[in-house]
Amino acid sequence: MTEKSEFDSPLLRTALTQLDRVAERLQLDRDVHERLRHPRRALVVSIPIKMDDGKTEIFTGYRVHHNTVLGPTKGGLRYAPDVSLGEVTALAMLMSWKCALMGLPYGGAKGGVRCQPRRLSRQELENLTRRYTAEIILLIGPDLDIPAPDMGTDEQTMAWIMDTYSMTQGRTVPGVVTGKPLIVGGSAGRREATGRGIVYALYQAARRLGQDLRGKRVVVQGFGNVGAVAARLLWREGCVVAGVGDVRGAIWNPNGLDVRQLEAHVAESGSVSGFADAEPVPAADLLLQPCDILIPAAVGGQLREDNADRVKATIVVEGANGPTTPEADAIFRDRGVTVVPDILANAGGVVVSYFEWVQGLQYYFWRESEITSRLQEVMTRAFNRVWGAASKEGTDLRTAALMEGIRRVAEGYRIRGLYP
């Protein structure tokens, strides 16, 4: 596979377009701008795995460090059939802006393995994870690069990575990953952190817009860990969760879904499809249903030029990474739709991952009430900073958030200089 095809991905094109526009607005030094456009390092690995049938299959894996100017790198690991070097590079870049925006001492990283995790047995997934860890082990460590769960991975995946890394060190190293099970050094509140952070960001947006969340109709695309948590918390706050979707289908009830019963249905059946108290709708139409708040929490590139003008929500809160293309952003700006961007809205996961990392390094763990209180404080402070910057600069929240994040990384480059 050629380098051009590997790096050429829609998400990377979007990330670079965003960077270039903000760099021009910030009047960034040309040399710093060029450094920001490229990852510091990228590793592509082959992962040979003996499958349950005895045959050996080769998977391709990636780990990308975008920059290390503010500290060790931090970023998730995803298992998905469309993972590519370009996509992982874009996600690492977005993590750089996100960590800087939230005031975390991290650079951005991301990893991925091109596979279909649902088709792999538990033993095959463990073999895949451990071999992938062995292949990228020169790039990870508690003061170098700290992976975390993402699409297609979970707490168990992180436990396997931690154990594999620890075996090579001859000691237990809990700080090498975050998002681990509690029993091996995970943090209270980590599993719900991204969804909870979305709700905190939405609450601040509604407050600034003079709106009350109670009674607002909500649509959530993606009913995995992030979307389900956000839906549950908003439902408890009195929102009407009218539509949800996952990879197998989408459902709609204008009067609202009972999220508690829906979660029980998903736990039993594996999908929102077939839920008794709702009507099925085409997945593409879910984003266009009449609602006040839309939370795209599935995959990137869902809100595009061909559908943004038909979105009826007045507030879009991005739970996924890169769900809105630049063309859709322009349409939303013209229509007066408030978009709370991904690097702000879904930052709750990396914030609590930071808390977990700190706890692991100290071997001292906090109560969940402390975690949620600190998360709310960090999210609120970041939102207010972005809202203030947007008002001052006369721009939208995404541009303001990117300006804040990119400015901090660029300042790190300026202060540290260029070696040699």
Catalytic center residues = 110
Q: How far apart are CA 174 and CA 172, in angstroms?
A: 6
Q: Does the N-terminal peptide bond of residue 48 adopt cis geometry, omega within 30 degrees of 0?
A: no
Q: How far apart are CA 78 and CA 226, in angstroms?
A: 14
Q: Which residues of 136-154 are buried (b: 16+ CB within 10 A; e: fewer)?
A: bbebbebeebbbbbbbbbb
Give residue for tokens 């500290």.
71
Q: Sign of torsion, CA 194 71 20 37?
A: negative
Contact (CB, 8 A) for 300 and 280: no
Q: How far apart are CA 160 and CA 288, in angstroms?
A: 40
Contact (CB, 8 A) for 9 and 392: no
245, HSE (Cβ side, Cα atoms, 13 Å): 23
Q: How far apart are CA 16 and CA 5, in angstroms?
A: 16
Helix 259-269 to helix 225-236 angle (10° resolution) is: 160
Contact (CB, 8 A) for 239 and 218: yes
